[in-house]
Structure 1
Amino acid sequence: MKTPNKIIRTDKWRLNPTPVQKELLGKTVEVYRHACQFLVGIIYTHWSELGELTADQLTPAVEKLMHQTAKRPSIKYPQFKKAFYKFPSYLRRAAIAFSAGQVSSFVTRYREWQSGGRKRKDAKPPKLNADTGCYPSLYKGQCYKLHGYDQVEIKVFNGYDWVWATVEITGLRERHLVATNKMMSPSLVLNERSCHLSVPFTCKPEKRKPEANVTAIDLGINTTATISVVTHSGTVIHREFIHPGRDIDRRDKRLKSVSVRASKTMGKGGKLHKGFCSKTYQKCRRINTQIGHIVSKRIVEIAEKFNSVRVAWPTALAIVFENLLGWKPKGGRKRSNLRQRFHGWLKAKIRDFTEMKWAELGGKIVEVVAAYSSKLAYDGSGKVKRSSKNYALATFSSGKQFNAVRVAWPTANLNGAYNIGARGVIKLTHRNGGEGRFSKNSGRPPRSWVCLCDLWAKVSPRLA
């Protein structure tokens, strides 16, 4: 049996240091960065010999150049010990690994520039930047000691010596509570906004059973995400709509202010300066990230909750999305409100965040053909007719207006979610992984245009 791939996820453990402790932590980060700058110069000077070594061989090779011991009294760079008195050995090795990565990256990019591999022919040569905003990696027992999950002892530099400081932990997530997760060496992150430990975990999710429900997602403009949970027999056991309207309004309000300020700045002609409203755009990007996390978190919660079999780990097999890679909007005039809404469509961000969260629980993402997922009625009656006043509402060929009374429920998105779920089920159960129809004489080519009614035909041909 093939073992599942390792997945690494990082938690943020917020720290609450006193003013004195914060100053000590700041000195620790500062001296670590200075050590990395020193080591970058050494490693780059000897890169012709060091570049051919493996990661395990490179660290002792660099230490032979700058770390003096009783068996190695003569070294080439004794200045390191004088500049960094009593520098912890584990921090030194972490700094060597980071500095070697910086030099390796620079050498690769410089050779690429020399060979003309850059996209732009007039691209300037890359520079070796030794002044990087890196943070020290802490090794258990040598650089940090946990006291439960309320306090942590960190080895810090007080300007003269390395001492231990006990710092309070005020916030952490739940990955450390999962028995199969393995905690790795954290990094001490200290900046103007926060002070925390960046704690990576190696996650080993258990394999899910193949016979289970699928959670289908239809990403739209009027409704951010329409969710339907479809069984292999074609039964829809849950449906839900996710639309964080408050966050979307906050983002759109800020974007609208950009056009107002631009018109006041340019007037009827002229150009905007570089970086115009950059802070506003940064804020909007953060709001988009927050929306993506809110929606993806709820999608994963639904996928965990609605399952055909209950075991220690949830058994929902897959989350199904439409394959929208390379999709570009056709509707909406230039600078129109509809075109702006298309630009605010977080189809890729929601899909990527969902994949990261779902992979941690042992699930997988399935992508199906997007063509005619909303245009074809899920009951097999043919194409649906969209309302000219409200494009989210749809009427079937039989004349049935599926839930058209409740405008808050966009029927076109719900119809699309049903068909997406059916395509996901068929893709998972079909022998060659395709989305072929069950009947050769379906009369609705191509074979990828699967609807929910095709699952009914598989269970009972009379229902089709």
Structure 2
Amino acid sequence: MAQKPVAKTIRTDQWQLAPNSEQKQYMLNTVREYRRLCRFLVTVVCTHWVKLGTLSSDNLVPAVERLVHATTKNPHPKYPQINKAFPKFPSYLRRAAIMFAAGQVSSYMTRYRNWQSGQSRHRRDAKPPILNSEAGCYPALYKGQCFKLHSFEQVEIKVFTGKDWIWTTIQITSWRERHLVANNKIKSPSLIIDGKRCHLSVPFECHPEKVRGTGFVVAVDLGLNTTATVSVVSRNGTVIHREFIHPGRDIDRRDKRLKSVSMRAKKTMGKGGKLNSGFCKHIYRKCRNINQQIGHIVSQRITQIAQEYSVDAIVFEDLKGWKPKGGKKRSTLKQRFHGWLKSLIVNLTQSKWAEMGGKTVTVIAAYTSKLAFDGSGTLQRDSKNYALATFQNGKHYNCDLNGSYNIAARGWLKLDGRKDYEKRPSKNSGRLPRSWACLCDLWYNDRPKLA
């Protein structure tokens, strides 16, 4: 029986191009001409928004074309100067520009209504929003009309020379492998070009087959001492794989740069004063890029483990709304919490695993690391090494591994439809909330019932 495809997802690849100097100039002309038309169309659409704003996207494009484009059935448009300013402009590029202009005006109108009603005013003298027609947009290339693909090695693009529109063939130097997946469908790419490089931003409509689970889940405990602690747990509570993911080299590179910021701030301010708004912005930009790299490394390894064991789901703690707490005086704990990439890793893993057809669930985070997985009660962390813990029965264990086991148990209870495990008891009850499940609960549920 064939597997049912899950809901479609959109992912974008970058295909690097290698144009010569003449082709690069043509592509720059194309982007400039496209943006110039968008500025004209934003004005037209804003002027007639009372009528255009009520139309659907299928009806809006023909309505705007009747205002600006002359045809045999529409020989006298309301704005004939646009035809004169943009001769031989490709029709599909013009329609893409119309949709972009409509989006700009729609966004402006929404923000202006919010400003009028006071929803977006944080001060009484807040100024109204401004309609921006100088947005840095890029042309969308429709297949067969603006670009033609030749065996994923060369692409033929319609470009503007400054006087005429011509076809030019450009070599593709690098790409990813999404085009090799049979269920992926290529959508209309965008031509992206700056002063140094140019590429095609190619979106793919992905229809992955749903992963058929083999009775395992991947539980991930995100921490400070170890970036991610991963365990693969079966439905009956058997742990078959454990792994610590901690790209220490990248973390050291980031922390070293952040330390240089504090040293430079001391030299700049001295004992008093203020820092300007752009202080060390290049260092912060590098640190953000390093964080992105760390997130990709960790999320990629998590999805690799999930794919290797064909797991039913990847389980994370629900840490939305969590706020860091400061430690003792002169402690760097709060600063370390701000460098915690919990949300970034979860978002990247969800995105990658969804593209493979997998499922991701979140569970309640309370007491995952404080309760012993064997049911012996709360544990005591080591004062010198916070990653180690001692159970009440005297067992010494890694606290992050213990937390990942409990996360897996809660994930299984949620996947099995145990809705009652998230309910908390009344205040008069002396029992722990059922949401604070541990790995031992899977052992008890797996025991055969006596007659």
The answer to whether TM tops 0.5 is yes
Q: Once the 2 structures are TM-superposed, how far is the Cα of residue 259 of structure 1 from its aligned partner?
A: 0.7
Secondary structure of the residue aligned to 1:239 is: strand
**Does the Cα contact within 8 Å between 2:4 and 2:209 map onto a contact in 1?**
no
Q: Distance in 1 between matches of 2:198 and 2:39?
A: 23
Alignment of 1:99-178 (within 5 A): 99-121=101-123, 122-178=125-181
Query: Matched residues in 1 for 2:353 and 2:126: separation?
Result: 40
> Residue 206 of structure 1: CA displacement?
2.1
1:33 aligns with 2:35: yes
Alignment of 1:416 with 2:411, yes or no, is no
Correspondence for 2:320:
325
In structure 2, relative to structure 1, the CA distance for the partners of 1:254 and 1:334 (3 Å cut) is: farther
Is this contact kept in 2: 1:385–1:394, CA < 8 A? Answer: yes
Equivalent residue number for residue 273 of structure 2: 270
Instruction: Tell me by how many angstroms 1:390 deviates.
Output: 0.6
Instruction: Name the CA distance, whole Å, in 2 between partners of 1:436 and 1:459.
Output: 22
Cross-structure match for 1:216: 219
1:73-112 residue pairs with structure 2 within 5 A?
Answer: 73-112=75-114
CA distance in 1, matches of 2:418, 2:236: 17
The Cα shift of 1:335 comes to 6.1
Residue 438 of structure 2 corresponds to residue 451 of structure 1:
yes
Q: CA deviation at 1:318?
A: 1.1
Taking a change above 3 Å as real, the CA distance of residues 89 and 321 of structure 1, as seen in their structure-2 partners, is same
Find the counterpart in structure 2 of residue 296 from structure 1: 299
Partner of 1:355: 350
Q: Which runs of 4+ in 1 moved over 4 A?
A: none
* Contact 1:16-1:168 within 8 A present in 2 as well: yes
Please list, as runs of the form range in 1=range in 2, the aligned pairs for 1:303-342 lying within 5 A after superposition. Answer: 303-307=306-310, 316-333=311-328, 336-342=331-337
Determine which of 359, 375, 391 is the counterpart of 1:380.
375
**How far apart, CA to CA, are the structure 2 residues paired with 1:431 and 1:447?**
10
Q: Is the 8 A contact 2:4 2:210 kept in 1?
A: no
Against the structure 1 CA distance between its residues 274 and 331, is the aligned structure 2 distance closer, same or farther, given a 3 Å change threshold? closer
How many residues of Structure 1 are paired with residues of Structure 2 in the alignment?
442
Given that 1:435 and 1:450 are in contact with CA atoms closer than 8 Å, whether structure 2 keeps it comes out as no
**What displacement does 1:3 show?**
6.7
Task: Show CA shifts across 1:149-197 (max 9, x none).
Answer: 1110110001111111111111111111111111100000011343111
Matches within 5 A, 1:44-59: 44-59=46-61
Contact 1:423 1:435 survives alignment (8 Å) = no
Question: Alpha-carbon deviation of 1:431?
Answer: 4.0
Separation (CA, whole Å) in 1 of partners of 2:180 and 2:5: 22
Name the counterpart of 2:366: 371
Structure 1 residues 67 and 256, CA gap change in structure 2 (3 angstroms) = same
Q: Distance in 2 between matches of 1:162 and 1:373?
A: 63
SS of aligned partner of 1:141: coil
How far has the Cα of 1:260 moved from its partner?
Answer: 0.7
Give the aligned residue type for 1:459.
Answer: D
Deviation at 1:207, TM superposition (A): 2.7
| Counterpart for residue 4 of structure 1 | 6
* Shift in Å, 1:204: 1.4
Q: Is contact 1:36-1:130 (8 Å) kept?
A: yes
- Distance in 1, matches of 2:330 and 2:79, equals 61
In the alignment, the residues of structure 1 paired with residue 431 and residue 440 of structure 2 have an alpha-carbon distance, to the nearest angstrom, of: 13
Q: TM-score under structure 1 normalisation?
A: 0.91
The 5 Å alignment of 1:274-285 reads 274-285=277-288
How many angstroms does 1:244 deviate by?
0.9
Q: Is the 8 A contact 2:92 2:146 kept in 1?
A: yes
One-letter code of the match for 1:49? K
Matched residues in 1 for 2:273 and 2:226: separation?
37
Quick check: 51-60 or 289-298, which moved more?
A: 289-298
Mapped contact 2:69–2:80 kept (Cα < 8 A)? yes
Q: Which blocks of at least 5 consecutive residues in structure 1 are unaligned? A: 308-315, 403-410
Amino acid at match of 1:352: N
Note if contact 1:14-1:172 (Cα within 8 Å) is conserved in structure 2.
Answer: yes
Aligned amino acid, residue 280 of structure 2: C
Tell me, yes or no, if structure 1 residue 62 matches structure 2 residue 59.
no
Deviation (angstroms), 1:4? 3.1
Equivalents in 2 of 1:251, 1:218: separation in Å?
22
State the Cα RMSD in Å.
2.0
Unmatched runs of 5 consecutive residues or more in structure 2:
none
Distance in 2 of aligned mates of 1:177 and 1:208: 19
How far apart are the structure 2 equivalents of 1:150 and 1:430?
49
Say whether the 8 Å CA contact 1:333–1:339 is kept in structure 2: no
Q: Aligned partners of 2:46, 2:215: CA distance in 1, in Å?
A: 54
Read off the aligned partner of 1:226 and give its amino acid letter: T
Q: Deviations over 1:205-225 (max 9, x none)?
A: 223346631110000001000
1:311: which partner in 2? none
1:343 equivalent in alignment to 2:338: yes
Report the alpha carbon displacement of residue 336 of structure 1 after superposing the two structures with TM.
3.1
CA distance in 1, matches of 2:7, 2:249: 38
1:201 and 2:204 are equivalent in the alignment: yes
Is the alpha carbon distance of 1:444 and 1:236 closer, same or farther for their aligned partners in structure 2, counting shifts above 3 Å? farther
The 8 Å contact of residues 427 and 433 in structure 1, kept in 2 or not, is answered as no
Q: How far off its partner does 1:41 sit?
A: 0.8
Q: Following the alignment from structure 2 to structure 1, what is the Cα–Cα distance between the partners of residues 163 and 330?
A: 61
**1:241-284 CA-partner distances (Å, limit 9, x unpaired):** 11111111111111111111111111001111222112221221
